[in-house]
Amino acid sequence: MGELKIPGNRKTVVGVGSALMDMLAREPEEFMARLGVEKGGMNLVDQCYIDHLVAQTTSPPSLVSGGSACNTAIGVAKLGGAGRFVGKMGNDKLGQLFKQDLKNNLVEPVLFNSSTATGRVLSVITPDAQRSMFTYLGASAEMHPDEVSLDCFSDAAIVHVEGYLLFNRDLMMTVLKSAKEKGGLISLDLASFNVVEESTDILEDIIDEYVDILIANEDEAKAYCGHANEAEAIKALSENVDVAVLKLGPRGSLIAHQDQVLAIDAMGSGEAVDTTGAGDLWASGFLFGLVNGYSFEKSGRLASACGYEVCQVMGAKIPEDGWTRIRKLL
């Protein structure tokens, strides 16, 4: 399998997306059934709705900083890489907590401010370890194209964009064009089958013109290309990009490059406690590996290790003993 050419000697991975605080709640199956919402997806809600849901939880949810691209940037930094996150927060306590958490994890914060409340996500984790997300975007949805300067992407090897930005199309296009102008490769995580279904009119053109690395799970791939069969899905995902990834959960992942497909086994054998952040941390290991010149196989194994470790805890933060085990692979 060939290698991915990284521009210059750059090593920085820049995540762009929603600055959100994660609210984690363990709930029985009946909680989701009562809501009448399909499990495993991401649902945009207003502040009143999310406050109403939080009031119905069995116990107060735990709070940790989150957002897909943010989780990935933190993972890159925890591996010893250079991570930067671009997003927008509120001028409130949650916003300050979010910013400080980035600094504590050695991620460079590029955060714009708003008088609107900091966004938050209620992640409902059911006994089968599925997580269903209810997202109040808050200030994160107010990031404006004019705020995104070329400096956000200086020295970027890879700009990792979460698919949720497709809900703000002007912003998405500004990010893609600016990242390309600064010479970085673009990685797009399709994020959720809901996102794909609502973006079918523009998604294929965006991927064809701008995206170098496309990352999807089985549900997202099916929504995008219509294939449930994994062999057909990875082939379709790879048609217009340099690298395509199909994440298969406990069955590992498939990585396609230059008409070759590499199968990566899942790491570990423990039962998943919570799948929150699994895809985000998978991307951390994979992108860190690519910018450091690792083979696709080693990058994939590192990605699997990150994905496995985060599934052993509640939320998207791997504890230090988990990072110690992951770093042994380096």
Domains and CATH numbers, the chain: 12-18+68-118+140-327 (3.40.1190.20)
* pLDDT by 10s per residue, the chain, length 330: 777 888 888 999 999 999 999 888 999 999 999 998 888 888 889 999 999 999 999 999 988 888 999 999 999 999 999 999 999 999 999 899 899 999 999 999 999 999 999 999 999 989 988 889 899 999 999 999 999 999 999 999 999 999 999 989 999 999 999 999 999 999 999 988 989 999 999 999 999 999 999 999 999 999 999 998 999 999 999 999 999 999 999 899 999 999 999 999 998 777 888 888 899 999 999 999 999 999 999 999 999 999 999 999 888 899 999 999 999 887
Q: What is the DSSP string of 153-196?
A: GTTEEEEEEEGGGGGSHHHHHHHHHHHHHTT-EEEEE---HHHH
- φ/ψ (deg, to 5) at 123: -100, 115
Bridge-based pairing of strands 213-217 and 243-247 is parallel
